[in-house]
Amino acid sequence: MFFTDDSKTEMGTGCSNCAFENGIKVLEWKGKLEKLPSVFQVEMMRLKEAIIRACQGNGKTKIFTDNISSVIAVLDPPTPHQLPRHPVPSHTESKYSG
């Protein structure tokens, strides 16, 4: 399972991912952006990193994120934004319920 989060303050913008297997934390990733980009850019950065890490595993992976617009941008290649244009591997699965 992957959990993602981000934050933006006057000191900068950051994001992080955490992965758990059988209740044990097996991965922690943190990113900080020097300039103050949009929240969307940060959300895309953390979601992209979670997808990359999930694709390196051997089984099904669930990614928990709090922003549906980022998921939609990744699943909709014609988006004008640069970050989601990189193809998502075909074996990834996205499910949102809210």
Q: What is the residue extent of each domain of the chain?
A: 2-75
* Inter-residue contact 46 to 37 (CB < 8 Å): no
User: Confidence band (pLDDT; 50, 70, 90) for 36?
Assistant: low
pTM here? Answer: 0.54
Edge to edge, the sheet with strand 63-64 lists: 24-33, 12-21, 2-9, 63-64
Tell me the residue type at 22.
N
pLDDT at 22 over 80: yes
pLDDT at 24 over 80: yes
Tell me the residue type at 81.
H
The number of residues in the chain equals 98
